[in-house]
Structure formats: structure tokens, C-alpha cells
């Protein structure tokens, strides 16, 4: 069965710290990897990565994909309390099946303390 594993499951940092969230995947028909941020509501889309080694950046957030080693990282620099959320990683499968098109990890809960 396809799977996505995120680590760590939870993380507590202080404002201004830099954090790295990890996501590894085993997906037979891999097409892309997506990152979402979820606060007390629906997941908000952050990035979609399809090519290895090309960093995507949005403000203080950046992400990169390694298709050889089957993992992705999400970096957040100069963290703020507003970054506190659960960060979800999902691998997109070309054919879906009973797991569907997006296979999600359990998420990393990030808490940023002032």
C-alpha cells in the first residue's frame, strides 16, 4: 500500500527559529507532492512539487523535492506565532484507487511560542 510518513509529529519552537519538516513517500505512480497548512479549518494549499531539486519559495516558506530519495522538506524561517498549525504533506498518485488521488501523511503539528 502507498504511504506517506511525516516527521516529526509535533514540534515546539520559539518565534524567530527556523524549522524543517520532513515528508517521505512510497507511491507507486507518483506524480507530485503537495504541502498544506491546516489551522482550525480546512487545509490551505502551500506548494506543489513535481521536479527534483527545484526549490519553491513563498515568503518565509520554501520546499524542495528529492525524487531519488523519495522525500520532501518544508522549511520555515523566522517563525511567527501565526505559523502555528498542522502541516500536511500529500503525495499525488496518478491512478488513485482506494487510497485516492492524494495520499496524506499524519501531519506535523507546529507550535510557535512567543
The residues of the shown chain that bind other proteins, judged by CB under 8 A, are 31-32, 34, 36, 41-45, 48, 50, 88, 92-102, 104, 106-107
* Pairing mode of beta strands 108-113, 10-14: parallel
Q: Which is nearer to other proteins, 20 or 51 (CB)?
A: 51
Q: Which is nearer to other proteins, 79 or 103 (CB)?
A: 103
Which residues, in sequence order, are CB contacts of 59 under 8 Å at separation 6+? none
Q: Which is nearer to other proteins, 71 or 104 (CB)?
A: 104
Q: Nearest distance from residue 42's CB to other proteins, in Å?
A: 4
Distances (CA, A) of 53 to 25, 64, 83, 112: 16, 6, 25, 28
Q: Which residues pair with 51 in a beta bridge?
A: none
Q: Nearest distance from residue 31's CB to other proteins, in Å?
A: 3
Distances (CA, A) of 79 to 34, 97, 99, 107: 21, 38, 33, 18
Task: Give SS3 for 63.
Answer: strand
Q: Nearest distance from residue 95's CB to other proteins, in Å?
A: 7
Q: Nearest distance from residue 41's CB to other proteins, in Å?
A: 6
Q: Which is nearer to other proteins, 75 or 99 (CB)?
A: 99
Amino acid at each position: 500500500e502507498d504511504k506517506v510518513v511525516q516527521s516529526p509529529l509535533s514540534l515546539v519552537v520559539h518565534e524567530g527559529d527556523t524549522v524543517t519538516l520532513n515528508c517521505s513517500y512510497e507511491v507507486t505512480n507518483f506524480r507530485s507532492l503537495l504541502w498544506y497548512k491546516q489551522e482550525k479549518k480546512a487545509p490551505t494549499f502551500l506548494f506543489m512539487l513535481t521536479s527534483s531539486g527545484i526549490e519553491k519559495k513563498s515568503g518565509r516558506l520554501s520546499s524542495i523535492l528529492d525524487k531519488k530519495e523519495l522525500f520532501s522538506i518544508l522549511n520555515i524561517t523566522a517563525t511567527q506565532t501565526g505559523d502555528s498549525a498542522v502541516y500536511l504533506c500529500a503525495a499525488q498518485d496518478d491512478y488513485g484507487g482506494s487510497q485516492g488521488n492524494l495520499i496524506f501523511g499524519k501531519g506535523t503539528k507546529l507550535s510557535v511560542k512567543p
